[in-house]
Every structure is written in structure tokens, then in C-alpha cells.
Amino acid sequence: MAVKDYIRKRFFPHIWCPGCGHGIVLNNLLRAIEKLKLKKNEIVMTSGIGCSSRISGYVDFHTLHTIHGRALCFATGVKMNRPELKLIVPMGDGDALAIGGNHFIHAARRNIDITAIIMNNRIYGMTGGQFSPLSGYGTKGTTAPFMNIDHGFDVVELSKAAGATFVARTSTYHVKQMVDILADAIDHKGFSVVEIMSQCPTYFGRKNKLGGATDMMTFYKDHTTPVGSKEKKANPELIERGIFVHEDLPEYCNEYDKVIEMAKASLK
């Protein structure tokens, strides 16, 4: 099945700005799904609110465009009811970690078989460029015209601490790695987190004088390094990318089935 067979062509061209990284995430998410040879009917995508969350409108799977920060809650409901389906939840950085921060850490803690994709553009793009929990100290946004004094989360460390059993990071520059990581994440039985650094040239790029989309992608190329590389020791400023955690632990729906069996047995 070709990649374009997975999209709802009637909604194209999409609403994202020229050079927006979210389109690259969509492009390569479809390639990962094609690599896994999944059928459209096997996939459910739930999303919340924001530029990133518009992605669910463009894919021809079962899709739920839900409320801000609560995409993982809807996904949990679908998964508990139909555990055989693949749940993919793309979220923006604000949607996942500010508005939906609590839902995010608890979904990770339960190790429910859902793939959470954090499309990290470090800003609230749709509402006009307010700083987000991933903007980071010293950056600028429309609500921080002088300087943002909030420190950013490290998505990888946060996900590890919360108990996610698959944690990875990549960028919109590293598209081949993105396909491989997304395929591994979707295939993983448990809670998977994939952070994808995604450029917002319209707001984050402009407010922070980072240039256009190509400049921001070149930054990802020059300022990242594979996880565990020597370069990171020499230059701690580099951002590591790759798979940080990949372990098998009991999955939530399987464990819940066991409780149902125990309850049934107790009635005999």
C-alpha cells in the first residue's frame, strides 16, 4: 500500500504553515505504518488540540479528534475496550506535557499499549506563539517577549521516570531514523513515547531568530548526536537521539484480563 493511500486526500493541502515540521512527522509516520504493513482498520488515532493534533484529520484510520490534553484518556478507553487495535496518539508539547501532563505520566506508569508521539515544536503555534513547557529557559515567545524564565522538561528523562517501556527521540531532519523508531514504537507492546523535534518557523523560529525551516532542520542535524556517542561527552550541549529505553514489562490490558479471570474464578 502506498503512503498516500493512508491519507484523506480531500483535506489537502493541509493547514500547516510552509516548512512546518508536523507535515514531515505525518509523512514519515505513514511510512512507518506502511513498513509494519498495518491495515487502516487496525489503527486508531486519537489527538487533542493544537497544530499537531490536526494530524488525525488527515489520516484515513479510525480517528478521534478530542479535547485538549486528553487524547491519551480517550486512547485508554478505546484500548481497554478493543485491545487488539493499535493506538497512536500524536500530541504537541503543550498538549502532552502542560494541559495533559498528568494524563501523560499516568498512562506511562500503567504501561498501557499506546504509542504517544510528542511533536515538540517548543511553542503553542495555533494560539499565537505562547511559550510552552518545552520552550526552555532563555527562549522567547509572544508571552515572554523579554525572556522565558521557565525551565523545560526533558521528555526522555520524564518518560523514563514515569515508567514508559519504550522511550526515543529523533528530529524532522533524521527522517530515516524517524521511520525506524516510529515502527519500533508502534510494534512495542507497552507504553511508547517518541519525542520528535519539529520546527515551527512561524513562531518559535521567528521569535527566537532561528531562521527558516531549513535553518531549524540544519540545527537538528548539527546539534544532535546518536545516544551514547563520544561526541556527547566532548560537548554536553548536544541533544541525544535514538532509543533510550526498550524493555518488556507486563502490559495493562493483559493485567486487567487477569483480574477479570480472578474475579470470575472467585464466583465459582
Partner 1 sequence: MGKPELKELRINRDWCKGCGICVHFCPKEVLDLDQEDKAVPVKPDQCICCMMCEMRCPDLAIDVILK
Interacting residues toward partner 1 by CB under 8 A: 3-4, 7, 12-14, 16-24, 26-28, 31, 172-173, 175-176, 179, 212-214, 217
Query: In the beta sheet, which residues pair with residue 171?
Result: 197
Q: Is 133 helix (H, G, I), strand (E, B) or coil?
A: coil
Cell of 132: 510552552
Task: Measure Cα distances from 200 to 89, 124, 230 in Å.
Answer: 20, 9, 30
Query: In the beta sheet, which residues pair with residue 167?
Result: 193, 245
Beta strands 239-246; 166-171: pairing state: antiparallel
Return the closest-CA partner of residue 21 out of 62, 68, 55, 48: 55
Task: Give CA–CA dist 157/153, Å, rounded.
Answer: 8
DSSP secondary structure of 178-222: HHHHHHHHHHSSS-EEEEEE---IIIIIHHTT--SHHHHHHHHHH
Q: What distance, in Å, lies between the first and last C-alpha atoms of the chain?
A: 49
Return phi, psi of residue 224, to 5°: -125, 160
Task: Give CA–CA dist 192/108, Å, rounded.
Answer: 8
